[in-house]
Amino acid sequence: MSARKLVAVAGALTVAVSLAACGGGSSGGGGGGHAGQTLQVYLSRQASYPNEQQQWMQHVKDEFTKKTGASVEFETYSSATEEQQKIQTSVVSGQGPDIYEIGTTFTPTAYSSGAFLKLGDEQWNAVGGRDRFVPSTLAMSGPDEADQIAVPFSSLPFVLVYNTQMFTAAGIGGPPSTWDELVADAKKLTHGDTFGLAMDYKDPFSPWKYVWMFAQQYGNPLVQGTTARIDDPTVARAYDAYFGFLTEDRIVNPDAANWASADATANFASGKSAMFAMTSASVIPTLAKSPVANSYAFAPMPTVPPGESALPAGGVPATTIVSGQNLVVASYSTQQDLALQYVELVTSEAEQQHFSEVFGVLPTNAAAADAIASGKAQYAPVLEAGKQAKPTPFTGAWSEIQLGLTNITVQSLAGLSAGSVPPDQVQRQLADLQKTAQAAVDKAAAAR
């Protein structure tokens, strides 16, 4: 009891010192220093684990009250729409939740709004220090180390999942290391109504990640400094390969033009596809209940782009974006010290490990990540992919670029379903997107 109280006092002191400039309302008082205060936390709904999330919230509430004396009120969102509207209205009116959980790719936009608390050394120390986190997860905290707003909360790297049984039956030793190898393997695995690769062309979030990945591997970061490089031939080549899986290589079920991520997962789960790329550990509960429960494994996606036998000069071996959820504190919040204490709590080793075990995501806390890795062999390749994760360009223009890249896929779905996507159509759309992207990048540069 006294030890815990000591820790709490120490924590409160740290925060009080670090936030002295803000003139925080807390004045000593030990663990109960924030009694009567309520922290509002806005976070994403765990669709696959509704009951577990309720229990988790209760657990965190109890822990937080024990630690600070204050209580926590949770509010969840279940769609990007809901999240955007909430953030927008809160930012405009200067009232709303104290803490938001936001996706890594949305963090640049959040950063550019200036509506969230900048994290200096004091704030980082208040949440346990930068060293506490897996280094790659910090890449989406801000444009550079001096300007950060986001604390990594959960990590969900994208990986390849493959059917071990089908691989063995086809005499394939292990997961492919180049995309050409993947296509060759998939061709061996395609027969009748079984296909080598499941794709989610109609997913609202997935398509741009392929284009980004291939472009990176070809050596194009899409945004370089203040230049958008969408009209670079590597982007067109990325789309070619991406659509080609279905139209040229014929390793993808033609129905995939209608599939979102969940549909592709279901297809893989029913044993009708041997591989599914750009997926994550979040499919484990589904696969565990499926016919392939005992015959699947994860692997990082190949790092050598389609049509190449080795990484091209200047190419980056990127497979997964730095993916997951960050926590940001609203700058209008009147209890930022308390908010940082919450962040400290939920990114601590114990809480991170607990969260990861319950929801199947990976910890961003380095110690917790190591603990998880040693416990479950299944997670090892996923963790490995996460460590190699590469950040998407940290610019306020990114949302627009991401949307534009997805839009090109959306407009190609009909062609995809019919068996061919006219290359000039993609070229034309890329030229248009280059203009909007460059305008957005310029705007972002002007606003900095």
Partner 1 sequence: MSLTSPAERPPTATGPAGDVGGPARVGTRRAGPTRRRQGPLWLMTPGGALLLVVVVVPFVLALWMSVTDLDQYTLRQWAGAPFLGLGNYVEAFTSGPLLHSVWLSVAFSVLTTVLTLPLGIAAAFAAHDRFRGRGLVRSVFLIPYVLPTFVVGTVWRIALGPDGAVNTVLGSVGIDGGNWLIGGRTFWTLVLVDTWAAWPFVYLLCLAGLQSIGREVHEAVAVDGASWWQKTVHIVLPSLRGPLLLAVIIATLHHLNNFTLPFVLFGSPAPDEVNVLPIAIYSTSFQTFRFGLAAAMSVASLVLVLIPLLFYLRAVRLDTGLEKGAQA
Partner 2 sequence: MTAAGRRRPAVDATAILPPGLRRGVIVVLVLLVLAPCAYILVASLMPDLEVASGTVVPSSVTLENWVAIWTTVPLAQGLTTSVVVCGVVAVVSALLAVTTAYVLVRFTFVGRVTFLRALVGLQSVPGTLLLLPLFVVYASAPAYLGVTVVGTTWGLMITYLTFALPFATWVMVTYIRGMPVELEEAGLLDGLSRVGVLRRIVLPLSAPGLIVAAIFSFLLGWNDVLFASVLTQPKTRTAAVVLQAFGASQEGGALPLYGQVMSSAVVCAVPVVILYLIFQRYLVGGLTGGLK
65 touches, from partner 2, partner 1, none (C-beta below 5 to 8 Å by class): none
- Candidates 146-154, 179-187, 265-273, 412-420; binding stretch for partner 2 (CB under 8 A): 265-273
84 touches, from partner 2, partner 1, none (C-beta below 5 to 8 Å by class): partner 1
Q: How far apart are CA 113 and CA 397, in angstroms?
A: 12
Closest approach of Cβ 83 to partner 1, in Å? 9
Q: How far apart are CA 392 and CA 288, in angstroms?
A: 31
Q: How far apart are CA 360 and CA 373, in angstroms?
A: 12
- Candidates 47-55, 143-151, 210-218, 323-331; binding stretch for partner 2 (CB under 8 A): 47-55
Nearer to partner 1, 35 or 80 (CB): 80
Check residue 89 for interaction with partner 2 (CB under 8 A).
yes
Binding site for partner 1 (CB under 8 A): 80-81, 84-85, 88, 91-92, 109, 112-115, 202, 204, 255, 257-258, 331, 396, 399-400, 403, 406-407, 410-411, 413-414, 417-418, 440, 443-444, 447
Among 64, 77, 214, 355, binds partner 2 (CB under 8 A): 77
Check residue 402 for interaction with partner 2 (CB under 8 A).
no
Among 27, 93, 294, 309, binds partner 2 (CB under 8 A): 93
Sheet holding 273-279, edge to edge: 195-198, 273-279, 159-163, 296-299
75 touches, from partner 2, partner 1, none (C-beta below 5 to 8 Å by class): partner 2
Site string for partner 2, 177-216 (x = CB under 8 A): ---------------------------x------------
Q: How far apart are CA 116 and CA 99, in angstroms?
A: 9
177 touches, from partner 2, partner 1, none (C-beta below 5 to 8 Å by class): none
Say if CB 287 and CB 294 are below 8 A apart: no
Nearer to partner 2, 183 or 283 (CB): 283
Spatial CB neighbours of 339, under 8 Å, sequence gap ≥ 6: 39, 98, 99, 117, 329, 330, 333
Check residue 7 for interaction with partner 2 (CB under 8 A).
no
Say if CB 234 and CB 289 are below 8 A apart: no
Both structure tokens of 109: 């936009």
CA-based nearest residue to 230, from 431, 399, 410, 408? 431
Among 22, 59, 61, 82, binds partner 2 (CB under 8 A): 82
Nearer to partner 1, 107 or 325 (CB): 107
Spatial CB neighbours of 444, under 8 Å, sequence gap ≥ 6: 112, 395, 396, 397
194 touches, from partner 2, partner 1, none (C-beta below 5 to 8 Å by class): none
Nearer to partner 2, 200 or 337 (CB): 200
- Candidates 83-91, 114-122, 311-319, 380-388; binding stretch for partner 2 (CB under 8 A): 83-91
Closest approach of Cβ 110 to partner 1, in Å? 8
Closest approach of Cβ 225 to partner 2, in Å? 33
266 touches, from partner 2, partner 1, none (C-beta below 5 to 8 Å by class): partner 2
CA-based nearest residue to 337, from 7, 70, 140? 70
293 touches, from partner 2, partner 1, none (C-beta below 5 to 8 Å by class): none
Among 269, 338, 383, 441, binds partner 2 (CB under 8 A): 269
Q: Which residues bind partner 2 (CB under 8 A)?
A: 45, 47-48, 50-51, 74-79, 81-82, 85-86, 88-89, 92-95, 204, 260-263, 265-266, 269-270, 282-283, 285-286
